[in-house]
């Protein structure tokens, strides 16, 4: 803080002599918190260590003694879980305020080691035989249990990613489009099912007050996967694209009302943008239904300019409304 600003406020008569002294003394003796920086370093450590271990195991599948790898990783994972269990506060369905940040990261490390271990065991020893689904189902169950027992949002995210992997799709937001073949009806319907399931879980978490703070994470994954599946359905089932617009519209209206109720800027923006993508697809299909002529191209560009402006005004309007309400 710039103390001279407070001198200025003092001159303006907005703060007293005592307050100015309090600010000066407070700032001179204020400890600087390195919490964020150390947490970031610890997270970078977990990321580097698990990525490095994953590559080592992958590259040396045939050269290192298999048993040695299994024992080392299993021991390390067991130590991590044992440490977390020893330091864990009693289980509660409410949010547990942890005072031990280190435990959170050790748990994360343990979970990642566990995923590496199970993947390796399945690859090398086929412990689940040909039931490859079990290789994602088992870690998913362990991750969900860990997330709830140790109250960890990061592990919950990993569990949801594994749940989706078990169902056959990728849900990490930045890979959701590039890693899934949304031209496959099975993927689209799986997406619908998974999205609805996650939204229901979010609703239950909140309504029943079972780890209510997990609600956002479930909803975030659920909303993205549902919207993308709905738009993909419009594109895939091209003969009945207008019909497939209905679930998208229904979802958008529902999410918009929810966002309004919760005053959530985030859900307002993503709902608006996904719905706009759906409507635009509808308009473009309609314009180019007969032929790809210059007139249709002009109309399409004109539509994008006008609709973009309207949407920007819509966002500005709701931003003002939400700000007033909060």
Partner 1 sequence: MTVYNTATLKNKHIRQHATEAFKRQYINSDTYKNILEKHPVDLYTPNVFVKIGLGILTVFITFCTVGFIALLFNIDNLFKAFLIVMGIVCYVVLEMMAGKKRHYNSGVDNILMAGTVLFISTGLSLGYSVNSPVVLSLVTCIICLWLALRFTDRLAAIAATLTFLSLVFNACVDAGEFTISFFPYVLLLVSGCIYYFSGREERSVKNQVYHPLWQTISVIGLLAFYLSGNYYVVASLTEENYLLQKNSALSFPWFFWTWTMAFPVVCLVIGIQRKKLLLIRADVILIAVSVLTFRYYYSIVAAEAAMVIAGSLLLAASYLLMQYLRTLRCGFVFDNTSADDETENVEGFVIGQTLGGQSRHEQEAKFGGGSFGGAGAGSEY
Q: Does 97 bind partner 1 (CB under 8 A)?
A: yes
Contact partners, residue 288, CB within 8 Å, separation at least 6: 296, 300
Q: Which residues contact 24 (CB under 8 A, 6 or more apart)?
A: 3, 6
Is there binding between residue 206 and partner 1 (CB under 8 A)?
no
Closer to partner 1 by CB, 242 or 297: give it: 297
Q: How far, CA to CA in Å, does 229 sit from each of 81, 111, 250, 280? A: 37, 29, 13, 16
Place of tokens 């990728």: 170
- Say how far apart CA 80 and CA 59 lie, in whole Å: 24
On the CB side of 212, CA atoms within 13 Å amount to 5
Q: Residues 87, 151: contact at Cβ < 8 Å?
A: no
- Identified binder of partner 1 from the candidate list 79, 123, 133, 231, rule CB under 8 A: 133
Least distance CB 206 / partner 1 (angstroms): 13
267 with 223: CB under 8 angstroms?
A: yes
* 194, burial (CB in 10 Å: exposed 0-12, middle 13-18, buried 19+): buried
Contact between 219 and 259 (Cβ < 8 Å): no
User: Which residues 34-93 are close enough to bind partner 1 by CB under 8 A?
Assistant: 34-35, 37-39, 41-53, 55-56, 59
> Which of residues 244 and 278 has its CB atom nearest to partner 1 in the complex?
278
For partner 1, the closer CB: 244 or 318:
318
Joined together, the tokens standing for residue 290 give 């007969």
Q: For residue 174, count other CB atoms closer than 10 A to its CB.
A: 8
- Residue 256 CA to residue 215 CA, distance in Å, equals 17
Q: CB-wise, 250 or 308, nearer to partner 1? A: 308
- Interface residue with partner 1, options 123, 125, 132, 243 (CB under 8 A): 132
Residue 126 binds partner 1 (CB under 8 A)? no
Among 126, 179, 209, 240, binds partner 1 (CB under 8 A): 179
User: Which has the closest alpha carbon to 107: 119, 98, 120?
Assistant: 98
CB of 180 to partner 1, least distance (A): 8
CB nearer partner 1, residue 257 or residue 297 = 297
* Binder among 91, 266, 293, 321 for partner 1 (CB under 8 A): 266
Residue 30 binds partner 1, judged by CB under 8 A: yes
In the list 216, 241, 254, 286, the residue contacting partner 1 (rule: CB under 8 A) is 216
Of 38 and 200, which CB lies nearer to partner 1 in the complex structure? Answer: 38
Distance CA 258, CA 230 (A): 18
Tokens in use for 282?
């509808």
Rounded CA separation 119/73 (Å): 12
Stretch of 26-34, 82-90, 226-234, 247-255 contacting partner 1, by CB under 8 A? 26-34
Closer of 1 and 67 to partner 1 (Cβ): 1
Of residues 82, 177, 273, 321, which one binds partner 1 by CB under 8 A? 273
Q: Does 225 bind partner 1 (CB under 8 A)?
A: no
Does residue 228 contact residue 176 with C-beta atoms inside 8 Å? Answer: yes
Site for partner 1 in 291-310 (CB under 8 A): 294, 297-298, 301-302, 304-305, 308-309
Task: Pick the piece of the chain touching partner 1 (CB under 8 A) from 79-87, 130-138, 202-210, 235-243.
Answer: 130-138
Q: Which of 168, 193, 196, 247 binds partner 1 (CB under 8 A)?
A: 168
Residues 4-23 that bind partner 1 (CB under 8 A): 4-6, 8-9, 12, 14-15, 19, 22-23
Q: Which residues in 181-200 contact partner 1 (CB under 8 A)?
A: none
Contact yes or no for 272/311 (Cβ under 8 A): yes
């Amino acid at each position: 803080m710039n103390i001279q600003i407070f001198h200025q406020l003092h001159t303006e008569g907005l703060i007293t002599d005592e307050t100015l002294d309090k600010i000066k003394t407070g700032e001179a003796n204020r400890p600087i918190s390195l919490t964020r920086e150390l947490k970031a370093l610890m997270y970078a450590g977990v990321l580097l260590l698990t990525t490095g271990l994953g590559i080592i195991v992958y590259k040396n599948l045939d050269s290192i003694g298999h048993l040695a790898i299994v024992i080392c990783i299993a021991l390390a994972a067991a130590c991590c879980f044992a440490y977390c269990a020893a330091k864990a506060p009693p289980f509660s369905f409410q949010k547990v305020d942890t005072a031990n940040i280190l435990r959170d990261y050790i748990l994360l490390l343990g979970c990642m080691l566990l995923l590496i271990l199970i993947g390796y065991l399945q690859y090398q020893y086929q412990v689940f035989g040909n039931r490859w689904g079990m290789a994602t189902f088992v870690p998913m169950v362990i991750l969900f249990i860990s997330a709830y027992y140790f109250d960890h949002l990061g592990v919950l995210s990993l569990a949801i990613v594994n749940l989706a992997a078990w169902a056959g799709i990728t849900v990490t937001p930045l890979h959701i489009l590039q890693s899934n073949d949304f031209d496959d009806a099975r993927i689209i319907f799986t997406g619908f099912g998974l999205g609805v399931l996650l939204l229901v879980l979010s609703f239950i978490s909140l309504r029943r007050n079972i780890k209510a703070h997990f609600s956002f994470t479930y909803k975030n994954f659920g909303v993205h996967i549902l919207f993308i599946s709905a738009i993909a359905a419009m594109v895939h089932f091209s003969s009945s694209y207008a019909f497939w617009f209905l679930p998208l519209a229904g979802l958008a209206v529902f999410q918009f009302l929810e966002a309004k109720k919760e005053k959530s800027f985030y859900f307002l923006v993503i709902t608006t943008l996904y719905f706009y993508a759906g409507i635009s697809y509808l308009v473009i299909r309609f314009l180019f239904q007969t032929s790809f002529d210059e007139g249709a191209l002009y109309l399409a560009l004109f539509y994008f300019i006008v609709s973009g402006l309207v949407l920007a005004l819509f966002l500005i309007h709701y931003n003002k409304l939400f700000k007033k309400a909060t």
